[in-house]
A and B are shown apart, each in its own frame.
Chain A
Amino acid sequence: DQQVKQNSPSLSVQEGRISILNCDYTNSMFDYFLWYKKYPAEGPTFLISISSIKDKNEDGRFTVFLNKSAKHLSLHIVPSQPGDSAVYFCAASGVNTDKLIFGTGTRLQVFP
């Protein structure tokens, strides 16, 4: 049973436009959500996070939106740049847990 789902394995976006990556979760006990970015042959790197007490968190070109009632979060990248081409993982953790649950990832390609 996959608790964190990224239903789009890949996404292709033109440079300068908005990239929207989606993530759904099933466990209502999750209270903290993160996005990680991964380039080939490297480890994932932390990108942005959001607590369940918020519905939006912004950091430069990156914004994460959380819709708790729908158990859905999304990552918006505006404007998209070729260097954003990578695999993006969403992850979630719950209260009193030391563990993250990861989604399967979405490969973003930003073309000129």
Chain B
Amino acid sequence: NAGVTQTPKFRVLKTGQSMTLLCAQDMNHEYMYWYRQDPGMGLRLIHYSVGEGTTAKGEVPDGYNVSRLKKQNFLLGLESAAPSQTSVYFCAVTSVQETQYFGPGTRLLVL
């Protein structure tokens, strides 16, 4: 039982490149979330999903897209990476509305 996993753990991109971050869960939770964590900013919600096939914008959605084609996977895409997207990205899942379980994070550096 892996819980929540994130792929990759670390990535370096050049400005303008694209990439996809994968969040996978084996906990059968309905809700999935993508956050970014920056120094002094806490955790900010990028996008989230309340079920397979549904997505919604969070607090800082610009520059990101998401898809939830399967219940267990939530993808976060960067179409054209910018240095401002250098951050640590966390995925979280929940079924009980308020208690979220987080993945280990993906560290992204955009040069």
Where the two chains meet, the residues of A that have a C-beta atom closer than 8 Å to any C-beta of B are 4, 6, 9, 32, 34, 36, 41-46, 49, 89, 91, 93, 98-100, 102-105
User: B40, B42, B43, B100: which contacts A46 (Cβ < 8 A)?
Assistant: B100
User: Total number of A-B contacts with CB less than 8 angstroms?
Assistant: 52
Assembly CA distance A99 to B97 (angstroms): 8
Q: Are A98 and B48 in contact (CB under 8 A)?
A: yes
Q: How far, in whole Å, are A105 and B37 apart by their CA atoms in the complex?
A: 10
With A41-B105, A43-B105, A98-B31 known as contacts, the answer to whether A105 contacts B42 (CB < 8 A) is: yes
Give 12 CB contacts A-B under 8 Å: A41-B104, A43-B4, A43-B92, A43-B103, A91-B43, A98-B31, A99-B45, A99-B58, A100-B45, A102-B35, A102-B43, A104-B41
Residues of chain B within 8 A of A49, CB atoms compared: 98-99
- Chain A residues within an 8 Å CB radius of B74: none
> Would you give the 0/1 interface string for B1-33, flagging 1 where the beta carbon is closer than 8 Å to chain A?
000100000000000000000000000000101
Contact indicator B48/A89 (Cβ below 8 Å) = no
Q: Tell me, yes or no, whether B64 is within 8 Å of chain A by CB.
A: no
In the complex, are the beta carbons of A34 and B40 less than 8 A apart?
no
A43 to B4, CA, bound (A): 10
Residues in B neighbouring A99, C-beta threshold 8 A: 33, 45, 48, 58
Q: In angstroms, how far is the closest chain A Cβ from the Cβ of B72?
A: 17
In chain B, positions 58-111 with a C-beta closer than 8 Å to chain A are 58, 90, 92, 97-105
